[in-house]
Structure 1
Amino acid sequence: MEQIHAVRQVDRYVHQRRATDQRFVSWPLYYFLLRWVTLGIYSIVIFYRRLKRADLFRERQAHYTAAVITATRQFAEQHEHYGAARDDLNDLWRFMKERFEDEHKPIKAGASLALSFLTLGIYGFYATYRTMRFWWEIQRTEQDFYDQLGTIWAKLGMVNYPVTLEVNENLHRSFGIYLFLTIITLGIFWIVWDYRMHTDPEKIYPEFHSAEDGVLGALRTVDMRG
């Protein structure tokens, strides 16, 4: 029963992506129409939602990876294989915990928006930097997670082929260079920057979702095998 509950928890966080992995209104519609019609108010809304989107994705990934590790541990215990993977599972648990507590700290959209107003926009650049960094670093974290998970699953005989995640290298961008280009072009490069901030997450969602579906399918298969 514990194994079934653990798999259901994984299923829960996989399907939670319908609410958290958000796709916004198309960028041309937002940038060239909505922000003008609303006298800039919609730009503030989008800024907040971009930060919130990162926080929601972070929270879901933290719960999802923890649930996968728990389900794997319970499978190992029930099949008397825990000794073969105990240290690896503990190491993976600590690794993910440290990454989410240190590297992927919440951006806190509400507080960031308030501080941006109080600092006349200066804090907004810092929040933007953290958002850009998050979408790059979370890929690397999840890639490491799946690599280690694949090794553990191979030891336990759970799967024949590991689940993998490919990092989108196009999201590895320098905040400093983007800021410099925006300044020397008198703000023109900001159009490119804003477009990429708006659409970058949508470029990596399919890869994350494919990996999650693979993990959930594998857990369901071994669960049915008993």
Structure 2
Amino acid sequence: MSYAMYLVVGFFTFGIYTIYAHFKMIQRQQEHFRRMGRFNDDLLKLIEERAADIGQSQQQARGIDEVRVLNEDYQRLQRGKERSPGLWIVISIITLGLGFLFVLWFLNADLQQHQRAEAEYIEKASTLLNKLGIGKHPIVVDEVVPDRSYPLYLFLTVITLGLFEFYWAYVRIKDGNTHFGEHDRFEEQLMGTIRAAA
């Protein structure tokens, strides 16, 4: 998603495009969370199959259980963060923007919790894969989305009569793009390691 497009098209459409842009931000975040849930399930299945194939299921039972619990925790977290893009845009419109304040909060807060949970899961799973003979080094996942202070950002937006929102919109878009970029990096590294051992 492009911040420049957000500004330019938003200006020429008198802000209408910004409504659509936030719909897309919520939508892509939700799709990403669900996709990562499927990815985690597949990775756990691979670990269990690999352990069984090389006769290490009993020896690595504790590690497998830890990864399984982390996956269950992630799936539970993801289910608790399900947000309907259409619903929240409608709520924001009919409440004259009040509902949008909650959107501004959860776009960062949900992504923060998501990246923390996925980093723990991927790093633990890749360490276990190393013990099962897949790869030599665990994958390190960088938590690239900072924990932004919602009260501070809201306060700064109010006292600058909305001018700070230009920066806030920039970081909302940037955080998602940066997180997806980090995903491309570690997923490619992880999949390369798995393919090399196939």
Shift of 1:155: 2.6
Tell me the distance in 2 between the aligned counterparts of 1:118 and 1:96. Answer: 38
Which residue of the partner structure matches residue 136 of structure 2? 160
> For the Cα contact (< 8 Å) 1:107–1:130, is it kept in 2?
no
Q: Residues 28, 206 of structure 1: CA spacing in aligned structure 2 closer, same or farther, 3 A cutoff?
A: closer
How far the C-alpha of 1:206 sits from its partner, in A, is 2.5
RMSD: 1.8
In the alignment, structure 2 segments of 5+ residues that lack a partner are none
| Residue type at the aligned position of 1:175 | Y
Match of 1:19 in 2: none
Deviation at 1:88, TM superposition (A): 2.1
How far off is 1:68 after superposition? 0.9
Please give the secondary structure, in 2, of the residue aligned with 1:82: coil
SS of residue in 1 equivalent to 2:142: coil
Instruction: Summarize deviations over 1:94-151 as a string: whole Å, max 9, x none.
Output: 2222233236612221121122123222121112211111222222112211221133
Residue number in structure 1 paired with 2:47: 72
Following the alignment from structure 1 to structure 2, what is the Cα–Cα distance between the partners of residues 38 and 184?
26
Residue 188 of structure 1: aligned partner: 163
SS of 2:138's equivalent in the other structure is: coil
Distance in structure 2 (CA, Å) of the matches to 1:52 and 1:114? 14
Asked if the contact 1:84–1:155 (Cα under 8 Å) also holds between the matched residues in 2, the reply is no
Per the TM alignment, residue 40 of structure 1 is displaced from its structure 2 partner at its CA by 2.1
- Identify the match of residue 110 of structure 2 among 134, 150, 153: 134
Query: How far did residue 185 of structure 1 move?
Result: 1.2
Give 1:204 deviation, angstroms. 2.4
TM-score, scaled to structure 2: 0.91
SS of equivalent residue, structure 2 residue 36: helix
TM-score, normalised with respect to structure 1: 0.80
Q: Partner amino acid for 1:57?
A: H
What is the match of residue 21 of structure 1? none
- Equivalent residue, structure 2, for 1:81: 56
Q: Does residue 1:121 correspond to 2:97, yes or no?
A: yes
Cα deviation for residue 171 of structure 1 reads 2.1
Work out whether residues 23 and 85 of structure 2, in 8 Å CA contact, stay in contact via their aligned partners in 1.
yes
Measured after TM superposition, the shift of residue 212 of structure 1 is: 0.7
Amino acid at match of 1:180: F
Q: 2:76 maps to which residue?
A: 101
Instruction: State the aligned residue count.
Output: 197
Residue type of the alignment partner of 2:130: A
Correspondence for 2:86 among 90, 110, 119: 110
Tell me which moved more, 183-192 or 113-122: 113-122
> Is 1:210 aligned to residue 185 of structure 2?
yes
C-alpha contact (below 8 Å) 2:37/2:74 kept by paired residues = no
Instruction: Give the percent of matched residue pairs that are identical in Structure 1 and Structure 2.
Output: 22
SS of 1:171's partner is: coil
